[in-house]
Amino acid sequence: MSNTLQTQLLVIGGGLAGFAAALSAAEAGVNVLLLEKTAAAGGSSAMSGGCLAFAGTDLQHQRGIEDSAELLFRDLVEVGKGECDEAIVRAYSDHQLATYEWLKAHGVSFQPVIEAASGQSVPRVHNVDPADMVRQLQQAALNTGKVEVLYNSRALRLLRDAAGRVVGVSAEQAGQALEVHAARGVILACGGFVHDRELIHRFAPQYDQAVFIGGAGNEGDGLRMAWAVGADVRDMVHIKGTYGKHPMDENNHHACLAVYKGAIAVNQEGRRYVDESLSYKLLGDACMQQSYGVTYQILDRDIMHSGDNRVRILDFERRLEEGLFVQADSLEQLAKLLELPEAQFLAEVAAYNEAVSKGETPAFGRRHLVHLHGQLRTISSPPFYAYPSTAAVFGTYCGVKIDAQMRVYDVFGAPIEGLLAAGEMVGGLHGAAYMTGSALGKAAIFGRLAAANAVNG
């Protein structure tokens, strides 16, 4: 193999954002080389819960759900507590429906829309098999004859010409030095940094003891390469874990969110400590502030049976079969099994049940099951269950500063010519919290937008 390769467009990263960009550029007639650090495609995208947030789709219409790009925009800004870049949010909301149709056209199969999830004022979770989605886009990209993929290829440094434009990368493939020159520039789609504990500690030391789950290549390579050419960053202070990961189970890489069906969360002292209807990112923050960073989701028979096996975070019966729930015939027995202060725990559940029964607002201001949806329910029908829960960092949800065309900006507020970014490694969309489905959503949407800019810019 030559030590130097030439291509029109270079994409770094073989997850959803990378293949969405590569396929879109190929469809526009551009030759693409994609470098993937590991031996296989997928990355964190393939390990996700498979939720994408889209508005105004045919699946919503079939259920009589009224949604729009404007409502999606408002929800994203609200759940982000105004800390997001509204131009980036607008790019998401304006281009999401076309991206949904594009994914469908490439054979991606979506499950029927279920009830509203974190940060959603109407139901807009469009669920897929995430690994299969990436495989389909990968194959479609290869089928164009314009996309070449190099695995075991780690990008190391961005290359710039005399005018400062990014024109390629220096890399390493299977231990051999490699340079790739790209006439139309470089798209960074190489994920976040969940597997770099030094970076996590630098920006979010409160999560030092959290569980970290993500693609094996997510070590901050893209962030460091962008930094080296002066890129600015956004939202680093808003790194958050997702509440609901079992602290002892290494086989299940997903959260369980019984709180969104009516469970309450109690700490090691047997006390509630948060409004359980909040974004699971904010629940993650609250959990990590409790003793040992581990709390319990408490539910009864009726809540257990209200789960939904179509959605991984709501598949309670599967988790029960796997032995991850603690089960008891009474709340007293459950307190003993969990080694919680029995009197305090019973009083806490009783106070919550009384408020719900009287139509009053329980402590911490909880009014709904999730976001603005669902009536609260008592926890009163045996058997009772507890799901030990901590916060897992599934993605860093922050990164380089971009504009609505996915151009990376430097610390002086100017675009870095020839450099675009998409997916997990960009900041600006989520802000202070997170809407279910917006991470995979932005990977697909922003990957396509980055490609469009590279093709037409």
pLDDT tens, residue by residue, 83-121: 999 999 999 999 999 999 999 999 999 999 977 788 899
One domain, residues 153 and 291: no
Residue 263 binned pLDDT confidence (cut-offs 50, 70, 90):
very high
The structural domain count of the chain equals 2
pLDDT tens, residue by residue, 27-72: 999 999 999 999 999 999 988 889 999 999 999 999 999 999 999 9
pLDDT at 323 over 80: yes
**CA 143/CA 46 separation, integer angstroms:** 21
Strand blocks (E) in 401-457: 407-409, 415-421
One domain, residues 373 and 404: no
One domain, residues 294 and 429: no
Give the length of the chain: 457
One domain, residues 294 and 164: no
Nearest to residue 138, comparing CAs of 42, 68, 282, 219?
A: 42
pLDDT at 397: 86
One domain, residues 134 and 267: no
pLDDT at 451 over 50: yes
Strand blocks (E) in 28-152: 32-35, 51-53, 125-127, 147-150
pLDDT at 1 over 70: no
CATH number at residue 452: 3.50.50.60
Residue 177's CB: how many other CB atoms inside 10 A? 11
In angstroms and rounded to an integer, the radius of gyration of the C-alpha atoms of the chain is 23
One domain, residues 433 and 445: yes
Kindly write down the DSSP assignment for every residue of 368-384, as one continuous string. Answer: SSBTTB-------SSSE
One domain, residues 288 and 338: yes
Among candidate residues 393, 416, 448, the one where a domain is terminated? 393
CATH number at residue 270: 3.90.700.10
One domain, residues 306 and 190: no
Q: To which H or E segment does residue 303 belong?
A: helix 301-305
What residue type is 362 in one-letter code? P
What mean pLDDT do residues 217-226 have?
96
Sign of CA dihedral 443, 444, 448, 449: negative
One domain, residues 21 and 89: yes
One domain, residues 228 and 307: no
pLDDT at 326: 98
Among candidate residues 393, 408, 430, the one where a domain is terminated? 393
Among candidate residues 393, 414, 430, the one where a domain is terminated? 393
One domain, residues 248 and 213: no
Range of the domain at 53: 3-237+397-456
For the chain, give the mean pLDDT: 94
One domain, residues 389 and 410: no
